Amino acid sequence: MSTVREARRLAVLALREAGIGTAGLDARLLLEGSLGTRDLDPDRALDAASAATFTGFLERRLAGEPVWRILGEREFWGLTFRLSPATLEPRPDSETIVEAALAQLGGRRDEDLSILDLGTGTGCLLIALLSECRRASGLGVDLSDEACRTAAGNAALNGVAARASFRQGSWTEGLSGSFDLIVSNPPYIPTSEIAALSVEVREHDPRLALDGGSDGLAPYRIFARSLPGLLAPGGFVIFEIGAGQKPDVVSIMAAGGLELQASRHDLGGHERALIFAPA
């Protein structure tokens, strides 16, 4: 493993042998993380410290740990978000929520908006929205205090700390006031399906952020009861949903007085974000 080229070749072989379909990409990302640069000169010699770091990263990946957890951060909406054991990785599919919110806001994105992010995790949704809505302020809520600390650090990292606050809590419990926009990527996987998820998810993502109850819909029932009273006039709500959940979520929201306004598909063509407003 004397050069970048050789290190990458050996890593790709090991990852492929382990059945990892993204072997080439994973090897490159882990090398970049080990060397602290995206400029991978194939003839660059690896010093002992970099080689040891890369070997450790590779062993963790072969054991099933996701690349971005190994590296400790992931990009979302062009911003960098640090991870912790209490947070999900920000995933590209969830950028659909940000896209939907900005499209729905239109010219209002330049107003003094108030944004609520329920189950904030890394803070990626709120922080991405604040980066686009320069006069907005927002609150992120998470049941995990560690997640709230991680989100606050990410707000500082991305230059929006003055407009973002985070609090530990159970969904809307204890909240008051009104919000122009409420977003959430809640846990929506049925409890019985978690054991069948990939090792990268079931063993490394926090169960608290995955388990949506017996049918995966428990958070949405809470939202249907509590969110209408937290919306400002003209306000709206955007949720991420799992595959096939749209009819059930629409029905649950309708019972709470929230009407589907639009939906948005992710890059894979799946309906990922649903937009609701008071009927």
Q: What is the pLDDT of residues 211-250, one digit of tens each?
A: 999 999 999 999 999 999 999 999 999 999 999 999 999 9
Q: At 32, which CATH number? A: 1.10.8
- Model confidence pLDDT, tens digit, residues 48-60: 999 999 999 999 9
- Model confidence pLDDT, tens digit, residues 157-200: 999 999 999 999 999 999 999 999 999 999 999 999 999 999 89
Instruction: Examine the domain organization and report whether 98 and 214 are in the same domain.
Output: yes
For range 198-210, the mean pLDDT: 92
How distant, in Å, are the alpha carbons of 9, 26, 145, 163, 198 from that of 35? Answer: 16, 14, 32, 34, 29
Instruction: Examine the domain organization and report whether 120 and 14 are in the same domain.
Output: no
Instruction: Examine the domain organization and report whether 127 and 256 are in the same domain.
Output: yes
Is 128 in contact with 79 (CB distance < 8 Å)? yes
Cα distance between residue 30 and residue 35, in whole Å: 9
Instruction: Examine the domain organization and report whether 18 and 153 are in the same domain.
Output: no
Over the chain, what is the mean pLDDT? 96
Instruction: Examine the domain organization and report whether 31 and 134 are in the same domain.
Output: no
Is 104 in contact with 113 (CB distance < 8 Å)? no
Quick count: other Cβ atoms within 10 Å of Cβ 192?
10
Instruction: Examine the domain organization and report whether 223 and 252 are in the same domain.
Output: yes
Cα distance between residue 107 and residue 104, in whole Å: 9
What is the pLDDT, as a whole number, of residue 39? 86
Instruction: Examine the domain organization and report whether 99 and 204 are in the same domain.
Output: yes
- For residue 1, is pLDDT > 80? no
- Model confidence pLDDT, tens digit, residues 100-153: 999 999 999 999 999 999 999 999 999 999 999 999 999 999 999 999 999 999
Show the beta-strand stretches assigned E in 19-149. Answer: 73-76, 79-82, 114-118, 137-142
Tell me which residue of 96, 95, 54 sits closest to 76, measured CA to CA: 95
Q: Please give the tally of structural domains in the chain.
A: 2
Domain that holds residue 253: 75-278
Instruction: Examine the domain organization and report whether 12 and 133 are in the same domain.
Output: no
For range 258-262, the mean pLDDT: 98
Instruction: Examine the domain organization and report whether 172 and 201 are in the same domain.
Output: yes
- Model confidence pLDDT, tens digit, residues 78-113: 999 999 999 999 999 999 999 999 999 999 999 999
Calculate the CA 74 to chain-centre distance.
9
